[in-house]
Amino acid sequence: MTLVLMGNPNVGKSVVFSRLTGSEVTSSNYSGTTVEYTKGKMKIAGQTAELIDAPGTYSLTANSKAEEVAVDMLQYADVVINVVDATNLERNLNLTLELLAHDIPVVIALNMWDEAQKRGITIDVEKLSDELGVPVIPTVATKAQGFSEILRAVRNPSVSPIEEMGSQERWNHIGSIIEKVQTISPREPSLLERLETLSVLPATGLPMVAVVLYLSFLIIRTIGEGAIAYITEPFFEYLYMPVLMQLSNLFGGEGIFHDILVGQLIEGEIDFEQSFGLLSTGIYIPLAAILPYIFSFYLVLSLLEDIGYLPRISVLADNVMHRVGLHGFSIIPMILGLGCNVPAALATRVLEGRREKFITSTLMAIAVPCMAQIAMVVGLLGAFGGKYILYVFGILLWIWLLVGIILDRVLPGFSTDLLLEIPPFRIPSFSTLFRKLWLRMIGFLKEALPFLLSGVLLVNILYALGIFDLINRAAGPFLQNAFGLPTEALSALMMGFLRKDLAMGMLAPLGMTAKQLVTASVVLTIYFPCVATFMVLFRELGALDMLRSAGVMIISALFVGTFVNYTFHDGGFTIVGWVLAIGILLAAWFLPSRSERPSSEDEGIRQPDMQR
C-alpha cells in the first residue's frame, strides 16, 4: 500500500511524516527532475506501507516543478493524507477540494489544532467531515496527537462525492463551508503574532535580520570551532594518527603509493593539513575540518527554517536582489554560501529560471567566502587591524553588486516577481529537526567526499608531473606585475581550488604586507570556487553555463586584483580609487539593458519550495 502526504507548504507536513514513519527514511530526486522528496515505511495493521512526502503545493494546477512532482505522485497513491493547517482553513481547503474531486480515498489531518484554539479559531470537525465526505482528524503533529486516529481512518478510507468545479465556484463553495463550520472569536493579537508582522516591515524587520544573522554566525562558529577542538581534532590526532603512522612505516615512509595514500611526511610526521595523501588530508579535511561546520551551519539553518524565518529574509531582500537581476529567494543561497559554498550551490536548485540560476551561482561563487575562509581572513588580517578585514568584505560586496548589475543588464530575460507566503512563527519539533539535519549531513558527505578525494589525488598527480612548477614559472611574473604579489603566492592560489582556507594558511608564512594580503584574500575568493563547489555547480548549471560562469569569475579576479594593486595605498584606497570604484558601479547601472519586462500575459512567477 502506498500513502501520499499532500498539503500546502508550511502546514507541518514533514512533522506529520516523521511521526508516521520509522527510521527507514530516504531522500532522493524524483525521476527526471531535481525535485527532492522523502520516502519512508510505516506499519498499518501489521502490514508495511510506504509513505511518500510530496512537495508542498497550493493547488493541483501545477505551477512549478515541485508542484508538478506533487501532482504526479498522486497516481501512486492508494490513500492520500491531506495535511491541512487549521489556522488557515479557508486557503487550505482549495487544495482539499481539488483533491477530493479525484477518485482517490482521502483522509484529512487537521493539523496545528492547538495553535488554532490559541488563536480563537473553533472548527466543527464533524460538520466539516460531513461537508467533505471524508474523515477529518484534528492533529497536533509536534505533540504526536491524533495519529492513532489517522491510522484507523487510513484502514477504512472513503472517496468523497465532491465533483470537479471551476475556481470561482470552488471558492464560493469553500466560503459556504467555512461559514458553517468555523467561528473566530476576536481577541488581541499575541506577542508572537505582533512579531510576525513586525518582522516583515522594513523599519523593524531589517534590524531584526541583522541581529538574527549576527547571532546565527556566532552560534555556528562557536559550535563549529568547539566540535573541531574537542571532538574531531583529538580523534584524528590521538586515534587515527597512530594507525596511519603504522601504514606509513609499512610503506617505508616514502614511494609513490605512500605519497598518494599517506602523503609527504613533514619532518618525519604526518601533517593532516599539508601531507596531501588520500588517507591523511583527503579524509581529514572533509571529516574533521568541514563536517563540524556543516553540522552547526545546518543546525542553525534548519532551526531558522522551521521557525518560519527564512521567507521573511527573502521578502526583505527582494528589493536589493532585483537590482542584480534576481528576486528575494536568491538570498538563501548567498547566506548558505557564507557557511559552505557546496550547500549553497545545491540550493540554487529551487530557482527555476536558467538566468536566475546562472546569476545566483556566479555571484555566490565569486563574492561569498565560506566560513572556513572567513575565519582565516580574520585571523591573518586581524593582526594588521580590523579595517583591512572590512576592506576585504567591502571589496567583495562591491564586486558582487558590480557583476550582478552587469549580468542583469547583459543577459536576456527578466527577473521574476516574488510571490511568497510568509508563514506564522512556529515552535520547531526537535525530532523532525534532527532527522532533517541527519539527512542533510549524509547528503553533504555523499556530494563532497568523492570530489575532495579526487581533488587530492589530482593535486598529487599534477605535483608529481611537475605541472605546478611549470605554471609557477609561467604565471609568476604576471602575478607580480598585475597583483603585486610574490611569486610564491601562486601555489597558495592554486591550492585554493582545493580548499580556500588552506590556501589562506599557505599565505601566512610568506611575510606579505597588509595590502598584499587584502589583494590575495579577494583574488582567492573570486577567481574560482573550490573543487567540491565546482563539481556541484557543474552538475547544476551544465557544462556551457559553468564555462561561462568560470569566465566571469576569472575576469572578475583579474580585474579586482589589478584594481586593488593600483589604487590601494597606505592602508586605504586613494581618492582616485574611490572615484573609480563608484564611477564603475554607476556606469554599469546605466548600461543599456537587454533584459525586458515580460510583455506576455503569462508572467513567470516563482514559488520556491521553502521546505528544502
Partner 1 sequence: MQTTLNRMQTNHIGEVVDVRGGRTFRSKLDAMGIHRGRSVYKMGGSVWGGPITVRLNGCLVAVGRGMAERILLEVEDS
Q: Which CB, 23 or 599, lies closer to partner 1?
A: 599
Q: Which CB, 142 or 314, lies closer to partner 1?
A: 314
Taking the complex as a whole, the smallest distance from the CB of residue 305 to partner 1 amounts, in Å, to 17
Cα 396–chain centre separation: 20
Rounded distance between C-alpha atoms, residue 21 and residue 429, angstroms? 15
Taking the complex as a whole, the smallest distance from the CB of residue 184 to partner 1 amounts, in Å, to 8
Taking the complex as a whole, the smallest distance from the CB of residue 273 to partner 1 amounts, in Å, to 44
Taking the complex as a whole, the smallest distance from the CB of residue 239 to partner 1 amounts, in Å, to 51
Q: CA nearest 529: which of 418, 404, 366?
A: 366
Q: Which CB, 215 or 419, lies closer to partner 1?
A: 419
Q: Which CB, 121 or 489, lies closer to partner 1?
A: 121
**CA 4 vs CA 44, 85, 114, 148, 611: distances in Å:** 14, 17, 24, 17, 17
> Which are the contacts of 538, defined by CB distance < 8 A and separation ≥ 6?
546
Taking the complex as a whole, the smallest distance from the CB of residue 419 to partner 1 amounts, in Å, to 6
Rounded distance between C-alpha atoms, residue 431 and residue 109, angstroms? 20
Q: What is the 3-state secondary structure (H, E, C) of 537-584?
A: HHHHHCHHHHHHHHHHHHHHHHHHHHHHHHHEECCEECHHHHHHHHHH
Q: Which CB, 103 or 601, lies closer to partner 1?
A: 601
Taking the complex as a whole, the smallest distance from the CB of residue 167 to partner 1 amounts, in Å, to 5
List contacts with partner 1 (CB under 8 A).
58-59, 61, 63, 87-88, 90-91, 94-95, 119, 167-168, 171, 196-197, 200-203, 205, 311, 314-316, 318-319, 322, 327-328, 416-424, 597-598, 600-603, 605, 607
Q: Which CB, 126 or 603, lies closer to partner 1?
A: 603
**CA 385 vs CA 188, 377, 514, 543: distances in Å:** 51, 12, 9, 42
Concatenating the DSSP letter of every residue in 11-34 gives: SSHHHHHHHH--S-EEEEEPTTSS
Taking the complex as a whole, the smallest distance from the CB of residue 121 to partner 1 amounts, in Å, to 8
Q: What is the 3-state secondary structure (H, E, C) of 131-174?
A: HHCCCEEECEHHHCECHHHHHHHHHCCCCCCCCCCCHHHHHHHH
Q: Which CB, 33 or 94, lies closer to partner 1?
A: 94
Q: Which CB, 148 or 197, lies closer to partner 1?
A: 197
Q: Which CB, 322 or 539, lies closer to partner 1?
A: 322
Taking the complex as a whole, the smallest distance from the CB of residue 590 to partner 1 amounts, in Å, to 18
End-to-end CA distance of the chain: 26
**CA 383 vs CA 372, 376, 386, 513: distances in Å:** 18, 12, 8, 11
Taking the complex as a whole, the smallest distance from the CB of residue 391 to partner 1 amounts, in Å, to 27
Concatenating the DSSP letter of every residue in 474-493 gives: HHHHHHHHHH---TTHHHHH
